[in-house]
Amino acid sequence: MIPDAFQTFYHAQYGTRWEGLLHALMQAPVRCLRLNGFSGCEVSEEEEQLPEMPHCIYPSNDFEPSLQPSGVMDYYRMDPASLIPALALDVKEGDRVLDMCSAPGGKALILAEALGGNGHLTTNEWSRARKEKLRNILKAYIPKTTFSNIRVTGHDASKWGLFEPDQYNRILLDAPCSSERHVLHQAVELKKWKPSRSKQLAHRQYALLCSALMSCKPGGRIVYSTCSLSMLENDETIRRLIKKKGDRFQCHTELNPAYGEVTEFGWQILPDSQSGWGPMYWSVLEHT
């Protein structure tokens, strides 16, 4: 049973769309298998690839990632929408990259591949348990020679900018969020849900964004993302950053990704769309 307060909160944001969106959220999430670029494997012609994502396939029921002779796993299972914020960061070889809230690690793998062993990647996760899971994922998918260029840390990312200002030219902030799709499938979590939760998370997300802005070099790029439906945690968090620190960055809303609906300050993929992916929100910021 979905609480009335939950229904009221999201209906106020999505209006007549909410009923169909809720139905889509209650379905099993869509997952793809993304080819690990370090594995030496290739996608076969028989496998169904996702449009505009040539290294991703729809898994068959009996397909599971496996260890390859190269010593790493071949595929990583994830929501296809989760790839897009990492790709939007536009990492190049030689970049200094910070993944501020990195667990479970799927986006970090994309960033590591883009560096090509030439550059530096810092992956951070405050939760000790999630940090260890992150480390295990990275070790399973990244060769030892490349792993030497990757740092795994467990700091409070909201304070990162105080200790490493102007250090990174690429920062991914996939922020902790309401994660409503997960909550809807967990009765215990749904029972604990309150309208104030999103507002509290938005305060935390704003602090993380300010920290990212401090750590980003002039001319660098920040991608902010959440898997939240709440506008408080998405465009409204960016709006607050613009109001307070808008002289320090620009939103790149003129970009045209293959997937997603345009919002005021970014894009959003919702599961009631044809793809069934998401939710996923992201905004691209350039440090001026």
Residues with catalytic roles:
227
- Tokens 């169904």 belong to 48
| Greatest C-alpha distance within the chain | 53
Measured CA to CA, the distance from residue 120 to residue 97 in angstroms comes to 6
Which amino acid, one-letter code, is at 286? E
Distances, alpha carbon 157 to alpha carbons 49, 111, 185, 209, in Å: 36, 18, 28, 9
Nearest to 168 by CA among 117, 103, 123: 123
33: which DSSP letter?
E
Q: How far is C-alpha 107 from the geometric centre of its chain's CA atoms? A: 6
Nearest to 33 by CA among 98, 82, 90, 94: 82
Rg of the chain (C-alpha set): 19
Distances, alpha carbon 27 to alpha carbons 179, 274, 276, in Å: 15, 13, 9
